[in-house]
Amino acid sequence: MKSINELIQEAHQNAVNKGWWEDDRSFGEIIALIHSEASEALEDFRNGK
């Protein structure tokens, strides 16, 4: 089983690979992006995915 630190590192690397760390963003923009991702996750959950 992976440790929490290993999971954090993997999640961060995934975000880097997806472009989350390419540009400087304002706090508001970061919150909006998080909200968008969370909304997509909720939609998938509701659709049984």
pLDDT at residue number 21: 86
Q: List, for residues 10-19, the tens digit of each pLDDT value.
A: 999 999 999 8
pLDDT, residue 38, reads 97
Helix ranges (DSSP H) in 1-49: 4-17, 27-46
**Cα 48 → chain centroid:** 20
C-alpha of 12 from chain center: 8
The pTM for the full model equals 0.58
Here the tokens at position 20 are 């989350």
